[in-house]
Amino acid sequence: MKAHVCALVLLGVLCPSLTAQREASPESGRHSLMPIPGNLAWGYYWSEAKPVLRVKSGDRVVMRSLLTSSPKRLERLGLPSAEVETYLREAYAKVPKEARGPGGHILTGPVYVEGAEVGDVLELRILSAWPVIDYGYNSASGFLREDFPKGKSKLIRMDLERKVALFGEGIELPLAPFFGCMGVAPPVEAGRWSSVPPWIHGGNLDNKSLVAGTILYLPVHVRGALFECGDGHALQGDGEVSQTALETSLQGEFQFIVRKDMSLRWPRAETPTEYMTMGTDEDLVTATKIALGEMIQFLSTSKGLSKEDAYHLCSMAVDLHITQLVDKKVGVHATCPKSIFSKAGN
């Protein structure tokens, strides 16, 4: 790993030794989870998945994820063989094909959070997220697949010290890293759920707002929650229209907090400046209605508004965004600025 990657310390995260696979400090509640083959859930969220780490509510975990591409594919794009991550080579060499799928994301986990029960909420504090390699790739199929039938991919270098992606001559894109996949196990009856479509368990949300410093709230559907993350993105636009963002490998730190004072049907989030609700469905209109309905519910229960007043407020102050259009279930998120609420009244 290049030395400048350990600039993670500037984000408040010590760069752990890459030889450490799973470490825990009972006194501090800090753990490390590296993407060795035994720590991966390749392409699925599942109520019966075996936990690879157990933590307590309030513990912090540094987790590293792998980009969703094979070594051979990266080499075909022009990446020198020596720059392919050892973790990625080991994953493809040692995780049996019959253990992969139905989705294609290489997820790290699951993490069992002690005390999390069905009906609780897992508060996931995203403390940091940063690339551990200085390259990524983007594909060209997705929403306009009929216009780009060849689905070519593009290898893109990043300057991690300057925090930009070098897209092309005269085009530099500011990095805004986040994990595209952050989720818990779905309800038992859902079975082995593909990592591709997001749902009530979170999963492949591909929400570019969920960067370091934000909080994701996930409904708990099975004991222990069984959290997994992956699908690292160095940056993405709302919509993720070409099928991928700037896909890369990330390392981040999460804090897990079990909330027994909350009850949710769908994932929600909170940034330093906004409240956020989300909806996903095969139909964009339905996804929009879910996100809007969840925002009305939030405003009525958390801010003491009638549902009618909450709806009025949504039309004047809440913004709707297309999260992504390419994951079988499309996503919509609604954002409400915190600044509109007076400190005295709310």
CATH number 3.10.28.20 given to 274-340: yes
Three-point CA angle 115, 119, 125, nearest 5°: 60
Note whether 167 and 156 are within 8 A (CB).
yes
Note whether 179 and 234 are within 8 A (CB).
no
Q: Which pTM was predicted? A: 0.91
CATH number 1.10.10.10 given to 3-259: no
Q: How far is CA 224 from the centre of its chain?
A: 19
pLDDT tens per residue across all 346 residues of the chain: 333 333 333 333 333 332 234 444 445 699 999 999 999 999 999 999 999 999 999 999 999 999 999 999 999 999 999 999 999 999 999 999 999 999 999 999 999 999 999 999 999 999 999 999 999 999 999 999 999 988 899 999 999 999 999 999 999 999 999 999 999 999 999 999 999 999 999 999 999 999 999 999 999 999 999 999 999 999 999 999 999 999 999 999 999 999 999 999 999 999 999 999 999 999 999 999 999 999 999 999 999 999 999 999 999 999 999 999 999 999 999 999 999 998 655 6
Please give, one letter per residue, the 3-state secondary structure of 210-267. Answer: CCCCCEEEEECCCCCEEEEEEEEECCCCCECCCCCCCECCEEEEEEEEEECCCCCCCC
Task: Tell me the domain boundaries of the chain.
Answer: 3-259, 274-340
